[in-house]
Chain A
Amino acid sequence: MSTLAADKPGRPWAPLMSRLFAVACGACMLFCLALLGALLYKIFGFGWDRLNTAFITGKPSFMPAKSGILVPLVGSLYLIGLTAAIAVPVGVGAAVYLEEYAPLSRWRTIIQTNIANLAGVPSIVYGILGLGLFVRTIGLGRSVVAGALTMSLVVLPIVILSAQEALRAVPGTIRQASYALGATRWQTIWYQLLPASLPGILTGVILSLSRALGEAAPLVAIGVATVVRQVPENLFTDEFTALPLQIFYWTDMPDEAFHEAAAAAIIVLLTVLIGMNALAVFLRYKFGKRIQW
């Protein structure tokens, strides 16, 4: 960059300062990446030896060397499966309503502002809501269903906001062409808009489910147990536990051997999460290239 002000006699250091600033900002970025690298390296280094088939298929035990994560792992899978079944239809439905049905009214502005604010509510507050509403008032206890309903509320704003963004990216001409062919509003949504925005919606869904998989705070607040001996059979009544809660419990133990088990459980959790994240990035990349309006 040719710089005139820099050539002025009063500022001989200006080009150097400019260069130094660029280096400093670059160093900030490298430091952030180094933090991520160090974190993953330490955890994988600490827990790798503990990770084996027996660990994944094992039941909990008071002896750290014998403990396994089968029960929390299955609990987590049930939890996010059910969360997806609740949050995805409701979230996408709300997004469709806001983007395609709600006129530019006060009502829409209120809902929209409300969703933006809900996205910033701490997850433990949702846990308190779940405790009061699902666990006590409706009487679902500490079951998978109560956990999934609570978790659905946590992720709902993320699903809605990302689905809205995906729908907004579909050009208006698609809607007009569909209406011109005599399609009703819902036919337009079902046959044109949803298929066209599917990659974007899926990306948001995956990201929100990975959030649900890693959250522990709402589950703690609704009183989900940390040690459960059996895989839940009845989703409405049986107690369950989840992977992040198991990690919390093991980390809180003073015994070093439990910390190793926690690291191994974290490796399992992070592998699933990073896999989901990679899938989201891949979807966005692949379909982002293919659909050219």
Chain B
Amino acid sequence: MALTATTPPMELTAPRRRWLESVIHAVLLVCAAASVATTVGIVAVLLSQSIPFFREVSLVEFFTGTEWAPLFSPARYGIIPLVFGTTLVAGGAAVIAIPLGLGTAIYLSEYATPPVRHAVKPLLEILAGIPSVVFGYVAVVFISPLLRKVFPSADYFNALNASIVVGVMILPMIISLSEDVLRSVPRSLREGAFALGATKLDVTMGVVVPAALSGIMASFLLAIARAIGETMAVTLAAGATPQMTLNPLKSVQTMTAYIVEVSQGDAAAGTPEHRSIFAVGLTLFVMTLALNVFAQMILKRMREKYE
């Protein structure tokens, strides 16, 4: 932005023109402020219903309760089972997507010839552009029957089912972000290692990946944040049973799936059941925001290091 200095001084502009310029400046400022207003809006709306909710359900019960049963009487609002379901699905997705994604990113960055890269990247963009609900469909109609053939004890809707499709969904994100950081590692580091007689494997795993490690970690965090916020696929695939289990073949409910369930039901506005989606939404927002902010910080530091 060294160019600001070269902007012509306003005195040289005709008065009518000057007026127009300031109006445009103001309009554009409003556009940019809209993004800040969005954040304020999100926090305000979430809090406006969460605060009355927490007057009826104590914070301690909400964050430490191990039973989520809004329809019981008395209703129980302990969010741990929902967080458990979310973690199980997102963790499973990460286990599936991280090795595959990193391997692909390494191949694209270190091994692939330019024509291969130019052919593969648009295909991965197509994969990235496939909507969540389509992955949900694939999980329900194709993967679930397959899983039940292999594991006859599996529930029809289960966490593994959701993990698989969410894993595929976050793959393109891991690949493209990791590839970017791998490619940003200076060539001189690679050449130095080759000059010392290292094999391609030594260079890749001993020099390039460690140099890019913080950026790669950031890409994993961003992908996990995405998996946590993933909604339609998880709602269709994982089921609607809020429970604390580590068995991926059981039906679970995630935070996002709970929000969908209530949104589709007939809970009246103002009831604790309806307000609970704002409290769950707030928890979800804070979790993903924390992961994103952390990842952005890592990426920023990484960029400063090599640029």
Q: Name A's B-contacting residues (CB within 8 A).
A: 1, 3-7, 14-15, 17-18, 21-22, 24-29, 31-33, 35-36, 39, 42-43, 46, 89-91, 93-94, 96-98, 101-104, 110-111, 113-118, 120-129, 131-133, 136, 153, 156-157, 160, 172, 175-176, 179, 182-186, 207, 210-211, 213-217, 220-223, 226, 244-245, 247-248, 251-252, 259, 262-263, 266, 269-270, 273-274, 277, 281
> Across the two chains, which residue of chain B brings its CB closest to A180?
B6
A124 touching B231, Cβ below 8 Å: yes
Min Cβ gap A194→B in Å is 12
A211 CB contacts on chain B under 8 angstroms:
129
How many B residues have CB within 8 A of the partner chain?
A: 103
- In-complex Cβ contact of A25 among B29, B104, B131, B142 (8 A): B104
B201 touching A14, Cβ below 8 Å: yes
A29 touching B232, Cβ below 8 Å: no
- Say if the beta carbon of B212 comes within 8 Å of chain A: no
Cα-based distance from A129 to B48 in the complex (angstroms): 11
- Can you give 14 contacting A-B residue pairs, CB < 8 Å? A25-B106, A25-B111, A26-B107, A96-B28, A114-B35, A122-B231, A122-B284, A128-B259, A132-B49, A132-B278, A176-B3, A214-B133, A216-B131, A277-B125
B202 CB contacts on chain A under 8 angstroms:
5, 14, 18
Besides A120-B222, A214-B130, A259-B137, 4 more A-B contacts (Cβ < 8 Å) are A5-B202, A22-B201, A97-B29, A131-B45
State the main secondary structure of chain B at its contact with A.
helix
Min Cβ gap B275→A in Å is 11
Min Cβ gap A181→B in Å is 10
Of the listed stretches B59-67, B75-83, B245-253, B288-296, name the one at the interface; the rest are far from the partner chain.
B288-296
- Say if the beta carbon of B189 comes within 8 Å of chain A: no
Min Cβ gap A151→B in Å is 13
- In-complex Cβ contact of A125 among B100, B122, B171, B284 (8 A): B284
A252 touching B236, Cβ below 8 Å: yes
Would you list which residues of chain B between 269 and 307 have a CB under 8 Å from chain A? 269, 277-278, 281, 284-285, 288-289, 291-293, 296
A46 CB contacts on chain B under 8 angstroms:
141
Q: Given A93-B27, A122-B230, A179–B123 Cβ distance below 8 Å?
A: no
B138 CB contacts on chain A under 8 angstroms:
39, 42-43
- Say if the beta carbon of B256 comes within 8 Å of chain A: yes
B263 CB contacts on chain A under 8 angstroms:
127, 131, 220-223
- In-complex Cβ contact of B288 among A101, A121, A184 (8 A): A121
A244 touching B133, Cβ below 8 Å: yes
Min Cβ gap A31→B in Å is 6
Min Cβ gap A100→B in Å is 8
B73 CB contacts on chain A under 8 angstroms:
none
B17 CB contacts on chain A under 8 angstroms:
184
- Say if the beta carbon of B150 comes within 8 Å of chain A: no
Min Cβ gap A154→B in Å is 10
Cα-based distance from A269 to B107 in the complex (angstroms): 31
> Across the two chains, which residue of chain A brings its CB closest to B139?
A251
- Say if the beta carbon of B2 comes within 8 Å of chain A: yes
A35 CB contacts on chain B under 8 angstroms:
127, 168, 171
B126 touching A36, Cβ below 8 Å: yes
A3 touching B225, Cβ below 8 Å: no
